[in-house]
Protein backbone atom coordinates (compact mmCIF):
# COMPACT_ATOMS: atom_id res chain seq x y z
CA UNK A 1 0.00 0.00 0.00
CA UNK A 2 2.07 2.94 -1.30
CA UNK A 3 -0.23 4.97 -3.55
CA UNK A 4 -3.85 5.08 -2.46
CA UNK A 5 -7.13 6.23 -3.98
CA UNK A 6 -10.06 6.95 -1.64
CA UNK A 7 -13.49 7.11 -3.29
CA UNK A 8 -16.33 8.74 -1.36
CA UNK A 9 -13.66 10.90 0.27
CA UNK A 10 -16.12 13.61 1.30
CA UNK A 11 -18.34 11.13 3.15
CA UNK A 12 -18.46 10.18 6.82
CA UNK A 13 -15.70 7.54 6.67
CA UNK A 14 -13.81 8.89 3.67
CA UNK A 15 -13.20 12.37 5.08
CA UNK A 16 -11.43 10.90 8.12
CA UNK A 17 -9.75 7.90 6.49
CA UNK A 18 -8.17 10.15 3.83
CA UNK A 19 -6.55 12.38 6.45
CA UNK A 20 -5.19 9.44 8.48
CA UNK A 21 -3.80 7.81 5.32
CA UNK A 22 -2.20 11.12 4.29
CA UNK A 23 -0.49 11.30 7.68
CA UNK A 24 0.72 7.71 7.46
CA UNK A 25 1.72 7.47 3.79
CA UNK A 26 2.49 11.10 2.94
CA UNK A 27 -0.04 13.54 1.51
CA UNK A 28 1.11 13.12 -2.09
CA UNK A 29 0.45 9.38 -1.92
CA UNK A 30 -3.27 9.64 -1.18
CA UNK A 31 -5.64 10.82 -3.91
CA UNK A 32 -9.17 11.67 -2.78
CA UNK A 33 -12.22 11.63 -5.03
CA UNK A 34 -15.74 12.69 -4.17
CA UNK A 35 -18.90 13.59 -6.01
CA UNK A 36 -21.99 15.15 -4.45
CA UNK A 37 -20.67 16.73 -1.24
CA UNK A 38 -18.30 19.68 -1.19
CA UNK A 39 -14.83 18.77 0.14
CA UNK A 40 -13.74 20.73 3.20
CA UNK A 41 -10.65 22.93 3.10
CA UNK A 42 -8.50 20.42 4.97
CA UNK A 43 -9.22 17.72 2.40
CA UNK A 44 -8.68 20.12 -0.52
CA UNK A 45 -5.49 21.67 0.75
CA UNK A 46 -3.72 18.60 2.11
CA UNK A 47 -3.41 16.68 -1.15
CA UNK A 48 -4.91 15.87 -4.53
CA UNK A 49 -8.71 16.04 -4.72
CA UNK A 50 -10.83 15.30 -7.81
CA UNK A 51 -14.56 15.38 -8.43
CA UNK A 52 -15.57 12.13 -10.08
CA UNK A 53 -18.73 10.08 -10.60
CA UNK A 54 -18.00 6.51 -9.54
CA UNK A 55 -20.35 5.30 -12.30
CA UNK A 56 -17.82 6.57 -14.86
CA UNK A 57 -15.28 3.74 -15.22
CA UNK A 58 -13.02 5.70 -17.57
CA UNK A 59 -12.72 8.52 -15.03
CA UNK A 60 -11.76 6.02 -12.29
CA UNK A 61 -9.25 4.37 -14.62
CA UNK A 62 -7.67 7.72 -15.54
CA UNK A 63 -7.10 8.70 -11.90
CA UNK A 64 -5.60 5.30 -11.09
CA UNK A 65 -3.21 5.47 -14.07
CA UNK A 66 -2.32 9.14 -13.62
CA UNK A 67 -1.38 8.65 -9.96
CA UNK A 68 -0.05 5.08 -10.23
CA UNK A 69 -2.47 3.93 -7.57
CA UNK A 70 -1.90 0.47 -6.05
CA UNK A 71 -4.72 0.39 -3.46
CA UNK A 72 -8.32 1.64 -3.67
CA UNK A 73 -10.43 2.28 -0.57
CA UNK A 74 -13.84 2.27 -2.22
CA UNK A 75 -16.24 4.12 0.09
CA UNK A 76 -18.63 5.78 -2.38
CA UNK A 77 -22.10 4.40 -1.66
CA UNK A 78 -25.67 5.39 -0.81
CA UNK A 79 -26.72 4.47 2.75
CA UNK A 80 -29.77 2.51 3.87
CA UNK A 81 -32.49 5.17 4.14
CA UNK A 82 -31.58 7.02 0.95
CA UNK A 83 -31.20 3.71 -0.90
CA UNK A 84 -34.73 2.75 0.14
CA UNK A 85 -36.03 6.07 -1.22
CA UNK A 86 -34.17 5.69 -4.52
CA UNK A 87 -33.57 1.95 -5.05
CA UNK A 88 -32.64 2.13 -8.75
CA UNK A 89 -30.12 4.91 -8.13
CA UNK A 90 -28.74 2.95 -5.16
CA UNK A 91 -28.18 -0.10 -7.34
CA UNK A 92 -26.49 2.07 -9.95
CA UNK A 93 -24.11 3.79 -7.53
CA UNK A 94 -23.46 0.91 -5.15
CA UNK A 95 -23.18 -1.90 -7.70
CA UNK A 96 -22.00 -0.20 -10.92
CA UNK A 97 -19.61 1.85 -8.82
CA UNK A 98 -18.13 -1.28 -7.22
CA UNK A 99 -17.96 -3.11 -10.55
CA UNK A 100 -16.04 -0.17 -12.04
CA UNK A 101 -13.60 -0.14 -9.15
CA UNK A 102 -13.05 -3.92 -9.35
CA UNK A 103 -12.54 -3.77 -13.12
CA UNK A 104 -10.03 -0.94 -12.80
CA UNK A 105 -8.31 -2.85 -9.98
CA UNK A 106 -8.15 -5.99 -12.15
CA UNK A 107 -6.63 -4.14 -15.09
CA UNK A 108 -4.15 -2.17 -12.98
CA UNK A 109 -3.27 -4.74 -10.31
CA UNK A 110 -4.68 -2.74 -7.40
CA UNK A 111 -5.80 -4.03 -4.00
CA UNK A 112 -9.34 -2.99 -2.98
CA UNK A 113 -11.03 -2.27 0.35
CA UNK A 114 -14.83 -2.68 0.34
CA UNK A 115 -17.03 -1.65 3.29
CA UNK A 116 -20.03 -3.89 3.80
CA UNK A 117 -22.41 -3.37 6.71
CA UNK A 118 -24.73 -4.83 9.33
CA UNK A 119 -27.25 -3.99 6.59
CA UNK A 120 -26.07 -7.10 4.73
CA UNK A 121 -28.13 -9.19 7.16
CA UNK A 122 -31.88 -9.61 7.40
CA UNK A 123 -34.70 -10.90 9.56
CA UNK A 124 -33.73 -14.56 9.07
CA UNK A 125 -30.19 -13.95 10.37
CA UNK A 126 -29.55 -14.75 14.06
CA UNK A 127 -29.76 -11.31 15.69
CA UNK A 128 -27.57 -12.04 18.71
CA UNK A 129 -23.92 -13.01 18.23
CA UNK A 130 -24.53 -12.99 14.49
CA UNK A 131 -21.98 -15.46 13.10
CA UNK A 132 -19.38 -14.52 10.50
CA UNK A 133 -20.82 -17.05 8.07
CA UNK A 134 -24.60 -17.16 8.27
CA UNK A 135 -27.83 -16.62 6.36
CA UNK A 136 -28.00 -13.27 4.52
CA UNK A 137 -31.42 -12.39 3.11
CA UNK A 138 -31.77 -8.59 3.59
CA UNK A 139 -34.99 -7.00 2.37
CA UNK A 140 -33.68 -3.48 1.75
CA UNK A 141 -32.00 -2.28 -1.43
CA UNK A 142 -29.00 -1.19 0.65
CA UNK A 143 -28.72 -4.72 2.04
CA UNK A 144 -29.12 -6.26 -1.40
CA UNK A 145 -26.24 -4.13 -2.74
CA UNK A 146 -24.08 -4.98 0.27
CA UNK A 147 -24.57 -8.76 -0.05
CA UNK A 148 -24.14 -8.60 -3.83
CA UNK A 149 -21.07 -6.41 -3.26
CA UNK A 150 -19.55 -8.94 -0.87
CA UNK A 151 -20.13 -11.71 -3.43
CA UNK A 152 -18.76 -9.65 -6.30
CA UNK A 153 -15.60 -8.98 -4.29
CA UNK A 154 -15.26 -12.71 -3.58
CA UNK A 155 -15.73 -13.41 -7.29
CA UNK A 156 -13.00 -10.97 -8.37
CA UNK A 157 -10.69 -12.43 -5.74
CA UNK A 158 -11.28 -16.02 -6.86
CA UNK A 159 -11.56 -15.46 -10.60
CA UNK A 160 -8.98 -12.71 -11.15
CA UNK A 161 -6.88 -12.84 -7.96
CA UNK A 162 -7.74 -9.21 -7.18
CA UNK A 163 -6.66 -8.60 -3.59
CA UNK A 164 -10.05 -7.50 -2.17
CA UNK A 165 -10.61 -7.21 1.55
CA UNK A 166 -13.58 -5.86 3.45
CA UNK A 167 -15.45 -5.32 6.70
CA UNK A 168 -19.07 -5.36 7.78
CA UNK A 169 -19.28 -2.04 9.61
CA UNK A 170 -21.81 -1.33 12.34
CA UNK A 171 -23.32 2.16 12.71
CA UNK A 172 -20.50 4.72 12.80
CA UNK A 173 -20.34 7.67 15.19
CA UNK A 174 -18.19 10.68 14.31
CA UNK A 175 -18.03 14.45 14.74
CA UNK A 176 -16.17 15.55 11.61
CA UNK A 177 -18.63 14.79 8.81
CA UNK A 178 -22.34 14.13 9.30
CA UNK A 179 -23.59 10.72 8.23
CA UNK A 180 -25.78 10.93 5.17
CA UNK A 181 -29.00 8.99 5.16
CA UNK A 182 -28.56 5.90 7.29
CA UNK A 183 -30.68 4.30 10.01
CA UNK A 184 -27.87 4.61 12.52
CA UNK A 185 -27.65 8.39 11.94
CA UNK A 186 -29.60 8.88 15.17
CA UNK A 187 -26.40 8.05 17.06
CA UNK A 188 -24.69 11.05 15.48
CA UNK A 189 -27.66 13.46 15.44
CA UNK A 190 -28.16 12.93 19.17
CA UNK A 191 -24.80 14.57 19.96
CA UNK A 192 -25.53 17.70 17.89
CA UNK A 193 -28.96 17.98 19.49
CA UNK A 194 -27.61 17.38 23.01
CA UNK A 195 -25.06 20.17 22.62
CA UNK A 196 -27.31 22.61 20.78
CA UNK A 197 -30.80 22.06 22.25
CA UNK A 198 -30.18 19.75 25.23
CA UNK A 199 -32.96 17.58 23.76
CA UNK A 200 -33.32 14.98 21.01
CA UNK A 201 -36.35 13.33 19.47
CA UNK A 202 -35.28 9.86 18.34
CA UNK A 203 -36.84 8.14 15.31
CA UNK A 204 -36.05 4.64 16.66
CA UNK A 205 -37.62 2.88 19.68
CA UNK A 206 -35.79 3.30 22.97
CA UNK A 207 -34.84 -0.41 23.11
CA UNK A 208 -33.52 -0.78 19.53
CA UNK A 209 -30.17 -2.42 20.10
CA UNK A 210 -27.61 -2.09 17.27
CA UNK A 211 -23.87 -2.41 16.94
CA UNK A 212 -21.99 0.91 16.83
CA UNK A 213 -18.40 2.06 16.56
CA UNK A 214 -16.47 5.31 16.99
CA UNK A 215 -14.81 6.54 13.80
CA UNK A 216 -11.16 6.25 14.93
CA UNK A 217 -11.74 2.52 15.45
CA UNK A 218 -13.46 2.21 12.05
CA UNK A 219 -10.58 3.95 10.25
CA UNK A 220 -8.00 1.91 12.11
CA UNK A 221 -9.82 -1.32 11.24
CA UNK A 222 -9.77 -0.59 7.49
CA UNK A 223 -6.06 0.24 7.45
CA UNK A 224 -5.15 -2.67 9.69
CA UNK A 225 -7.07 -5.17 7.57
CA UNK A 226 -5.38 -3.92 4.38
CA UNK A 227 -1.99 -4.35 6.04
CA UNK A 228 -2.73 -7.78 7.50
CA UNK A 229 -0.59 -10.77 6.54
CA UNK A 230 -2.48 -12.60 3.80
CA UNK A 231 -1.35 -15.95 5.20
CA UNK A 232 -3.26 -15.29 8.42
CA UNK A 233 -6.56 -14.58 6.63
CA UNK A 234 -9.08 -17.36 6.17
CA UNK A 235 -11.94 -15.03 5.19
CA UNK A 236 -10.17 -11.94 3.71
CA UNK A 237 -13.52 -10.24 2.94
CA UNK A 238 -16.71 -9.10 4.74
CA UNK A 239 -15.40 -9.47 8.29
CA UNK A 240 -17.92 -8.79 11.06
CA UNK A 241 -16.51 -6.08 13.34
CA UNK A 242 -18.12 -4.35 16.26
CA UNK A 243 -17.25 -2.26 19.29
CA UNK A 244 -20.31 -1.03 21.19
CA UNK A 245 -23.74 -2.66 21.15
CA UNK A 246 -26.29 -0.12 22.42
CA UNK A 247 -29.86 1.17 22.40
CA UNK A 248 -30.92 4.83 22.03
CA UNK A 249 -31.91 4.74 25.70
CA UNK A 250 -28.42 3.66 26.80
CA UNK A 251 -26.73 6.26 24.59
CA UNK A 252 -29.00 8.99 25.98
CA UNK A 253 -28.22 7.93 29.56
CA UNK A 254 -24.49 8.16 28.90
CA UNK A 255 -24.86 11.63 27.34
CA UNK A 256 -26.95 12.71 30.34
CA UNK A 257 -24.01 11.98 32.62
CA UNK A 258 -22.25 14.91 30.92
CA UNK A 259 -25.26 17.10 30.11
CA UNK A 260 -27.68 16.52 33.03
CA UNK A 261 -30.42 18.68 31.48
CA UNK A 262 -30.47 16.56 28.30
CA UNK A 263 -33.92 15.16 27.49
CA UNK A 264 -34.69 12.32 25.12
CA UNK A 265 -38.09 11.82 23.48
CA UNK A 266 -39.25 9.37 20.83
CA UNK A 267 -41.29 9.69 17.63
CA UNK A 268 -40.90 6.38 15.86
CA UNK A 269 -40.47 6.45 12.09
CA UNK A 270 -41.95 3.09 10.98
CA UNK A 271 -39.80 2.90 7.83
CA UNK A 272 -36.51 3.39 9.62
CA UNK A 273 -37.62 1.26 12.59
CA UNK A 274 -38.42 -1.63 10.22
CA UNK A 275 -34.94 -1.46 8.71
CA UNK A 276 -33.31 -1.37 12.15
CA UNK A 277 -35.43 -4.30 13.33
CA UNK A 278 -34.15 -6.38 10.42
CA UNK A 279 -30.48 -5.86 11.42
CA UNK A 280 -28.44 -7.78 14.00
CA UNK A 281 -28.38 -6.58 17.57
CA UNK A 282 -24.85 -7.76 18.16
CA UNK A 283 -22.41 -9.36 15.70
CA UNK A 284 -19.83 -11.95 16.61
CA UNK A 285 -16.54 -10.48 15.41
CA UNK A 286 -14.24 -13.21 16.72
CA UNK A 287 -12.98 -14.13 13.22
CA UNK A 288 -11.65 -10.59 12.73
CA UNK A 289 -10.12 -10.67 16.20
CA UNK A 290 -8.44 -14.01 15.54
CA UNK A 291 -7.39 -13.65 11.90
CA UNK A 292 -5.94 -10.13 11.83
CA UNK A 293 -5.94 -8.95 15.43
CA UNK A 294 -8.96 -6.61 15.31
CA UNK A 295 -9.68 -4.86 18.59
CA UNK A 296 -11.57 -1.68 19.35
CA UNK A 297 -10.24 1.04 21.64
CA UNK A 298 -13.37 3.09 22.30
CA UNK A 299 -15.97 1.88 24.80
CA UNK A 300 -19.33 3.65 25.14
CA UNK A 301 -18.18 5.94 27.95
CA UNK A 302 -14.85 6.88 26.33
CA UNK A 303 -16.52 7.46 22.96
CA UNK A 304 -19.28 9.69 24.39
CA UNK A 305 -16.81 11.81 26.33
CA UNK A 306 -14.56 12.26 23.30
CA UNK A 307 -17.49 13.01 20.97
CA UNK A 308 -18.85 15.71 23.27
CA UNK A 309 -15.47 17.40 23.69
CA UNK A 310 -14.58 17.33 20.00
CA UNK A 311 -18.05 18.23 18.72
CA UNK A 312 -18.45 21.09 21.23
CA UNK A 313 -15.11 22.39 20.02
CA UNK A 314 -16.16 22.11 16.38
CA UNK A 315 -19.55 23.73 16.97
CA UNK A 316 -18.12 26.62 18.98
CA UNK A 317 -15.69 27.24 16.11
CA UNK A 318 -18.62 27.20 13.74
CA UNK A 319 -20.51 29.53 16.11
CA UNK A 320 -23.30 27.02 16.54
CA UNK A 321 -23.48 26.32 20.26
CA UNK A 322 -26.21 27.91 22.35
CA UNK A 323 -27.36 27.59 25.94
CA UNK A 324 -26.25 25.42 28.82
CA UNK A 325 -24.55 22.79 26.72
CA UNK A 326 -21.64 25.17 26.12
CA UNK A 327 -20.19 23.65 29.27
CA UNK A 328 -20.88 19.92 29.37
CA UNK A 329 -19.64 18.23 32.56
CA UNK A 330 -16.61 15.95 32.03
C1 LIG B 1 -26.77 2.92 7.69
O2 LIG B 1 -27.41 3.15 8.72
O3 LIG B 1 -27.27 2.81 6.57
C4 LIG B 1 -25.27 2.70 7.80
C5 LIG B 1 -24.97 1.25 8.01
C6 LIG B 1 -25.22 0.63 9.30
O7 LIG B 1 -24.49 0.62 7.12
N8 LIG B 1 -24.74 3.49 8.84
140/206 same-domain check: no
Which CATH number do you get for residue 28? 3.40.50.720
CA 118 to ligand 1: nearest atom: 6
CA of 186 to the centre of ligand 1 (A): 11
Q: Which of 215, 212, 205, 218 is nearest to 275 (CA)?
A: 205
CA of 88 to the centre of ligand 1 (A): 18
The reported pTM is: 0.95
> Residue 245: phi, psi to the nearest 5?
-115, 105
Annotated active-site residue in 49, 142, 156, 214: 142
Supply the range of the domain harboring residue 38. 4-172+214-240
- Dmax (CA) for the chain in angstroms is 59
CA of 164 to the centre of ligand 1 (A): 21
313/182 same-domain check: yes
CA 146 to ligand 1: nearest atom: 7
- Taking CA atoms, 39 is separated from 16, 35, 90, in Å, by 12, 9, 22
In a domain, 290, yes or no: no
* pLDDT band at residue 49 under the 50/70/90 scheme: very high
CA 12 to ligand 1: nearest atom: 8
- Evaluate whether 18 touches 30 at the Cβ level (below 8 Å): yes
202/53 same-domain check: no
214 as an active site residue: the answer is no
Task: Please check the confidence at residue 325 and state whether its pLDDT lies above 80.
Answer: no
Pocket of ligand 1 (CB under 6 A): 79-80, 117-119, 142, 169, 171-172, 182-184
In tens, the pLDDT along 93-125 reads: 999 999 999 999 999 999 999 999 999 999 999
In tens, the pLDDT along 218-258 reads: 999 999 999 999 999 999 899 999 999 999 999 999 999 99
Exposure b/e, 300-320, CB count within 10 A at least 16 = b = beebbbbbbeebbeebeeeee
Task: Give the helix ranges, DSSP H, for 2-108.
Answer: 14-25, 41-45, 57-66, 80-85, 87-91, 97-108
Amino acid sequence: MRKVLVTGATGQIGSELTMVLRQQLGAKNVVAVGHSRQPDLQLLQSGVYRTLDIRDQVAVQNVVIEHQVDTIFHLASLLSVVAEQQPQKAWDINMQGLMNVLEVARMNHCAVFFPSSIGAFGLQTPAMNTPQDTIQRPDTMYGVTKVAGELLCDYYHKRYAVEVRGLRYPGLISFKTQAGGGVTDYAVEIFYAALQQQAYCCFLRADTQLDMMYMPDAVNAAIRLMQADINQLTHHNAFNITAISITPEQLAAEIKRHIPEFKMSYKIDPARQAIADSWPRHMDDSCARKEWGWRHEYSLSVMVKDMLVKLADKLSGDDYVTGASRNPVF
